[in-house]
């Protein structure tokens, strides 16, 4: 083991130059994001059949609604009322518009409709079976419609229509209404006017009666003693009194706090051995100045309350609750005023003549504090009492305001009724009237449901629902849509696509009968997926030539992505190109390469790391001079510790000098930490993934693991594409070419669009010839020999 030395890292973070030109991919930068750029046009292209399904479903539902929904039929008629002596007629304006409106009101009146119902026998018709009141249905509903046929010219022609569910009855109903309207017009105008006038008069009397009741209740509430009217607005006097009491309470609390602070300062001075008498004299002088201001303020308050007392006495009498509260406040303020006056009358001289001036001063201040506390308690009780009174008064005020609003509405309605009554009086003057039936009731035609509207609505709603469902399905599918999507999110391009393939068990006479069927590069070299492996091999060769890389790691985000099968086939494909390739199985937890190549796993990488053999002794030769494998060996209890050891790094260095390319198979990135450890010792890291739901978030997390190790992801290999997701495979002129991939479902159509049918153009310094392609021999016999 003395020949082992640390490996020389050649990845891009350890001196390898970055590729230039169009081959470089943008970095994901600023941390990876799982946000998917929602492309509406791409979503429509891939979900077009789903959208069309919902569109057709919407049209079908619209047709079903059209044929199943109740039908509405409309019959129309036109009439003209010739009014020769109507007062509203003028030679300049022709037939006045307000005259037409009056006749429309007459047509919809109860008198006209009663005659129509009687003569047309409406109550026996199917149209009115479920109608409680036929008159209300015709007058207030939308079935019977009458309007001026030409508003601009004031021609006086009235267009009448009726909508009903029975085609025949709709024509009969409209015909009966038109005839009843004609009979009404031809009847005595004075009688009609008198009946209409009486109706409006009765309505006006009812409103006046209710207005009187509301006004009496308003006056009753206004007469309550607690109702206070200020500038025409009703106010709650208890709320105002409550605010004043709160202000007085705050003043008392400030005064008590000031007195308590003075007593505390004198007591502290005495405890500290200072002369408290000088402090007391200074406090007394300050009190004298303060008390003068306090006395003035209290006196002004006393005068203000006395004036308020006189006003309330004159307005409400001596028993009003507001007056009682004011008198209670006057007594309290007067007591405070007398105390402050007493303090101004030589309190300082009186104290200075006493032997224990300090104690007497403190005692007096304590008395003032106690008196203020009693006043505070009294004010707090008054405030609670005012709150209770204010709550009850607020109920009465709200009731008063509601009644006032109702009175205003009734007065407005009454004014409108009087105006309407004046208009109805005009009917008495209508003479020499005659209704002419210009167009009789037509055969009813279906107007609802409308087939164009139903189809348009079904088309719109179905398409909208299809778009919404497709959008929700699109956002729910956490997968990649295209190669560009992978490049944008992972910052690394897709270098190849491998489809699903059938595992064909090799024949017994095959030289590779002991090799697993998954290695189609050995069993089926003409298989379409072998060309995919050769395309991936070419991309890796050119990347390695640009960077000088030799050690290549293959991993995947999660188990089941097929990274072990991919790296085994890739190793065989690279060996077929004439390179000397070594495949190392560094998956020390679930190794598979020994099964693929049909060799035992009694010794391998772990044996070398433990120092049980030399690196060269662990190599299994599959194809002399071209393909060799180092299996995992006995599975260790501490895989991560073995991979982080200096011996593992030195082993990689030994193999670097002996082979053209070294491929290392490692576990999934999100399963264990082993691949993150190995990526520090390799030159290129490739990630294999399957396009399934959830692959986007898993691959983003895997890429973040690689970035955290300071290593660049060299490329992505898409594995396990289904046959229906691929286009045809072409063979042209001896060169293998991809016809392009089309991915249905959630995969998009642009996988593989960056890869043309021809191999990349070699660089200028690429040798014009390659080593001869080897003839692989029996893997079982060659695996027994060692380098």
pLDDT, position 762? 35
Contact between 494 and 716 (Cβ < 8 Å): yes
Q: How far apart are alpha carbons 170 and 177 in whole angstroms?
A: 11
Give the strands of the sheet with 581-585, arranged side by side. Answer: 494-499, 715-721, 684-690, 551-555, 661-665, 581-585, 627-630, 620-623
Residues in the chain: 787
CA 191 to mean position of chain CA atoms = 67
What confidence tens digit (pLDDT) does each residue in 56-65 have? 999 999 999 9
- What's the pLDDT score for residue 265? 78
Mean pLDDT calculated for residue range 354-381: 74
Query: Confidence band (pLDDT; 50, 70, 90) for 726?
Result: low
Domain locations in the chain as residue ranges? 21-29+491-721, 72-187, 230-396
Q: Write out pLDDT tens, residues 599-654.
A: 999 999 999 999 999 999 999 998 888 899 999 999 999 899 999 999 999 999 99
Lowest mean pLDDT among 256-260, 482-486, 635-639, 762-766: 762-766
pLDDT digits (tens, 9 = 90+) for 152-175: 666 778 899 999 888 898 899 999
- Three-state secondary-structure class, residue 694: coil
| pLDDT, mean of residues 409-420 | 76
Q: What is the SS3 assignment for 439?
A: strand
Instruction: Report the pLDDT averaged over residues 323-332.
Output: 78
> Distance between CA 62 and CA 324 in Å, rounded?
78
Please report the DSSP string for 385-400 in residue order: HHHHHHHHHHHHHHHH
Least confident of 11-20, 104-113, 408-417: 11-20
**Strand, helix or coil at 131?**
coil
Angle, helices 321-344/357-425, rounded to nearest 10 degrees: 150
* Of residues 424 and 570, more confidently modeled: 570
Instruction: Supply the pLDDT for residue 43.
Output: 74
User: What kind of fold does domain 21-29+491-721 have according to CATH?
Assistant: Rossmann fold (3.40.50)
User: Which pLDDT score is estimated for 315?
Assistant: 74
pLDDT at 555: 92
**Cβ proximity of 211 and 415 under 8 Å:** no
pTM assigned to the model: 0.45
- What does the mean pLDDT of the chain come to? 75
Q: Does 395 or 463 have the greater pLDDT score?
A: 463
Q: Count the Cβ atoms, other than its own, within 10 Å of residue 643.
A: 23
Average pLDDT over residues 115-135: 87
Work out the percent of the chain whose per-residue pLDDT is above 90: 21
| Rg, Å, the chain Cα set | 52
Residue pLDDT, tens place only, 54-92:
999 999 999 999 888 888 899 999 998 876 544 443 444
């Amino acid at each position: 083991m003395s020949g082992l030395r640390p490996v020389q890292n050649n990845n891009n973070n350890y001196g390898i130059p970055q590729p230039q030109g169009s081959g470089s991919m943008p970095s994901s930068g600023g941390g990876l994001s799982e946000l998917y750029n929602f492309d509406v046009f791409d979503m429509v292209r891939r979900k077009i059949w789903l959208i069309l399904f919902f569109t057709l479903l919407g049209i079908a539902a619209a047709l079903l609604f059209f044929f199943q929904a109740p039908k509405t039929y409309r019959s129309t008629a036109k009439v003209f009322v010739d009014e020769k002596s109507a007062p509203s007629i003028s030679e300049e304006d022709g037939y006045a518009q307000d005259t037409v409106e009056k006749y429309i009101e007459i047509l919809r009146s109860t008198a006209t409709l009663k005659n129509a119902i009687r003569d047309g026998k409406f109550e026996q018709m199917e149209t009115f079976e479920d109608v409680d009141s036929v008159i209300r249905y015709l007058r207030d509903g939308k079935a019977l419609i009458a309007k001026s046929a030409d508003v601009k010219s004031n021609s006086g022609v009235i267009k009448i229509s009726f909508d009903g569910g029975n085609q025949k009855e709709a024509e009969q109903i409209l015909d009966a209404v038109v005839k009843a309207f004609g009979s009404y017009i031809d009847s005595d105008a004075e009688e009609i006017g008198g009946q209409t006038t009486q109706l409006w008069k009765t309505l006006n009397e009812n409103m006046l009666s209710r207005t009187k009741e509301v006004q009496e209740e308003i006056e009753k509430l206004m007469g309550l003693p607690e109702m206070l009217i200020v500038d025409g607005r009703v106010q709650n006097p208890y709320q105002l009194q409550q605010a004043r009491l709160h202000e007085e309470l705050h003043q008392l609390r400030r005064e008590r706090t000031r007195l308590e602070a003075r007593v505390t300062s004198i007591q502290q001075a005495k405890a500290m051995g200072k002369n408290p008498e000088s402090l007391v004299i200074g406090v007394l002088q300050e009190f004298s100045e303060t008390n003068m201001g306090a006395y003035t303020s209290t006196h002004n308050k006393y005068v203000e309350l006395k004036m308020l007392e006189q006003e309330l006495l004159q307005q409400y009498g001596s028993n009003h609750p507001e007056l009682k509260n004011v008198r209670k406040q006057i007594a309290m303020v007067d007591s405070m005023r007398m105390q402050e006056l007493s303090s101004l009358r030589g309190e300082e001289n009186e104290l200075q003549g006493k032997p224990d001036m300090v104690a007497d001063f403190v005692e007096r201040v304590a008395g003032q504090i106690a008196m203020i506390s009693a006043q505070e308690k009294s004010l707090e009780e008054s405030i609670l009492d005012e709150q209770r009174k204010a709550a009850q008064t607020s109920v009465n005020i709200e009731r008063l305001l509601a009644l006032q609003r109702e009175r205003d509405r009734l007065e407005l309605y009454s004014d409108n009724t009087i105006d309407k009554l004046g208009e109805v009086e005009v009917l008495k003057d209508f003479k020499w009237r005659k209704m002419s039936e210009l167009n009789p009731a037509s055969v009813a035609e279906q107007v609802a449901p409308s087939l164009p509207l139903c189809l348009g609505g079904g088309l719109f709603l179905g398409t909208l629902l299809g778009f919404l469902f497709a959008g929700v399905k699109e956002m729910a599918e956490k997968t990649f849509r295209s190669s560009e999507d992978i490049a944008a999110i992972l910052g690394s391009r897709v270098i190849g696509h491998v489809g699903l393939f059938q595992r064909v068990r090799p024949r017994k006479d095959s030289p590779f009968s002991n090799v697993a069927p998954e290695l189609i590069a050995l069993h089926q070299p003409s298989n379409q997926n072998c060309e995919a492996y050769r395309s991936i091999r070419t991309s890796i060769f050119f990347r390695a030539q640009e960077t000088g890389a030799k050690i290549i790691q293959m991993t995947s985000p999660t188990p089941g992505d097929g990274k072990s099968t991919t790296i085994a086939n890739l190793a065989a494909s690279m060996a077929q190109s004439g390179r000397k390739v070594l495949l190392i199985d560094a998956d020390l937890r679930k190794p598979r390469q020994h099964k693929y190549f049909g060799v035992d796993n009694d010794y391998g990488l772990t044996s070398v790391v433990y120092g049980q053999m030399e690196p060269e002794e662990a190599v299994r030769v599959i194809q002399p001079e071209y393909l060799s494998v180092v299996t995992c060996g006995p599975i260790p209890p501490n895989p991560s510790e073995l991979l982080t050891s200096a011996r593992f790094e030195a082993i990689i260095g030994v193999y670097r000098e002996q082979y053209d390319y070294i491929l290392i198979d490692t576990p999934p990135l999100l399963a264990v930490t082993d691949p993150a450890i190995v990526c520090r010792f390799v030159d290129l890291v490739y990630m294999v993934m399957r396009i399934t739901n959830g692959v986007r978030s898993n691959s983003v997390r895997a890429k973040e693991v690689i970035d955290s190790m300071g290593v660049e992801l060299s490329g992505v290999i898409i594995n396990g594409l289904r046959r229906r997701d691929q286009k045809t495979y072409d063979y042209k002129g001896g060169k293998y070419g991809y016809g392009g991939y089309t991915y249905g479902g959630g995969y998009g159509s642009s996988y593989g669009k960056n890869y043309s049918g021809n191999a990349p153009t070699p660089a200028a310094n690429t040798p014009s010839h390659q080593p001869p392609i080897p003839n692989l021999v029996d893997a079982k016999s060659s695996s027994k020999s060692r380098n």
